[in-house]
């Protein structure tokens, strides 16, 4: 049963929303009152109801719909688009650590997400080969301890907030024992797609940890940021959590000045810093989202003319083996 009223959505737990997400194109088409193609794909439809509720009924070009709708173009091979465009598999240790940049390590904490974004650069990542065990955590601790330059641990995935609060508490407890680590960063889309995930228990550990805690959320369009998302972000900030946003420049979704300016203002109104605007990582199945670098530069220059500097995100591209994200503008 699809719950379309806000009250019904608010009354459900985040776990309920995970279990009741839409995975069927026919149900999606019925919910939105539009005709949609049923396309064979190895990266299935997955959209939770709070996110679905923000998609405009009857609009096949809605920018939120286009982020999650499988289409035939995904199955067309495109030169230069690869299954592992950032060469992460070769850089991932057996215990799920990706150590690309000086001073921080990323841990692939889980392979699950609450939503399948069609442009996801890890849509082909072999998560089953990197499931974290207690033995892996011991190896992670040893790895970090041997490199005193590591000051920050980044939890990513998948989406680390897919884990229960109890499991997250265990993770954070292990990280806090690493005396050299002062910063914890959490890369997550869950506060956007299921804002109910920001529970009192989550706020409790985030507010009590001695680590400087930063949540990097992921919104691409202002329409993703409704009042429920705003409340979730406010709860995070009340726990002294810094909240940054990273977005992806996507053809047909936000590759225009109005969308980008509206997003920056909406984020700022919620107390979120517009941090990064990524050029697309060229993963197989995403070529129809690609935006030329020249247009990205032009758009950021136009944003700079219209916005205060703190609302202009850095235009960046990730390049395999580079010592940091390559900053193009901002």
- Is 286 labeled as ligand-binding? no
- Is 192 labeled as ligand-binding? no
- Is 85 labeled as ligand-binding? no
In 3D space, the residue among 179, 173, 171 whose CA is nearest the CA of residue 208 turns out to be 173
Contact present, 194 and 21 (Cβ < 8 Å): no
- Cα separations in angstroms, 77 against 37, 54, 125, 209, 230: 19, 32, 18, 46, 39
- CA 137/CA 142 separation, integer angstroms: 9
- CA 308/CA 282 separation, integer angstroms: 31
Looking up tokens 């053809």 gives: 251
| Buried/exposed code over 255-281 (b: 16+ C-beta within 10 A; e: otherwise) | beeebbbbbbebbbebebbbbbbbbbb
- CA 222/CA 6 separation, integer angstroms: 18
- CA 148/CA 228 separation, integer angstroms: 40
- CA 307/CA 305 separation, integer angstroms: 6
Tokens of 50: 């709070």
Contact present, 311 and 275 (Cβ < 8 Å): no
- CA 156/CA 72 separation, integer angstroms: 29
Tokens of 90: 């070769």
Q: What would the DSSP string read from start to end of 16-44? A: HHHHT-B--HHHHHHHHTS-------SS-
Per the annotation, binding residues for [4Fe-4S] cluster are 113, 117, 120
Per the annotation, binding residues are 113, 117, 120
């Amino acid at each position: 049963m699809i719950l379309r009223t806000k009250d019904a959505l608010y009354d459900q737990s985040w776990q309920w929303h995970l279990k009741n997400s839409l995975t069927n194109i026919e149900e999606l088409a019925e919910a939105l009152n539009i005709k949609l193609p049923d396309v064979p794909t190895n990266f299935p439809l997955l959209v939770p109801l709070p996110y679905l509720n923000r998609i405009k009924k009857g609009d096949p070009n809605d920018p939120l719909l286009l982020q999650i709708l499988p289409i035939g173009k995904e199955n067309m091979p495109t030169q230069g688009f690869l299954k592992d465009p950032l060469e992460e598999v070769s850089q991932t240790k057996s215990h799920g650590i990706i150590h690309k940049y000086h001073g921080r390590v990323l841990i692939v904490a889980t392979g699950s997400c609450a939503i399948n974004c069609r442009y996801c650069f890890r849509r082909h990542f072999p998560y089953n080969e990197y499931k974290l065990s207690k033995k892996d955590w011991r190896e992670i601790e040893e790895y970090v301890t041997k490199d005193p330059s590591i000051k920050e641990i980044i939890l990513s995935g998948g989406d680390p907030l897919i884990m229960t609060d109890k499991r997250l508490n265990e993770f954070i407890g292990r990280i806090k024992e690493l005396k050299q680590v002062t910063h914890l960063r959490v890369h997550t889309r869950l506060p956007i797609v299921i804002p109910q995930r920001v529970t009192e228990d989550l706020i409790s550990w985030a507010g009590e940890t001695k680590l400087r805690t930063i949540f990097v959320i992921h919104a691409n369009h202002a329409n993703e940021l409704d009042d429920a998302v705003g409340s979730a972000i406010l709860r995070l900030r009340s726990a002294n959590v810094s909240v940054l946003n990273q977005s992806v420049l996507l053809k047909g979704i936000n590759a225009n000045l109005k969308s980008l300016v509206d997003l920056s203002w909406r984020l700022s109104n919620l107390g979120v810093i517009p941090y990064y605007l990524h050029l697309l990582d060229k993963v197989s199945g995403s070529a129809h989202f690609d935006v030329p670098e020249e247009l990205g530069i032009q758009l950021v220059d136009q944003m700079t003319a219209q916005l205060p500097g703190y609302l202009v995100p850095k235009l960046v591209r990730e390049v395999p083996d580079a010592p940091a994200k390559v900053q193009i503008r901002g």
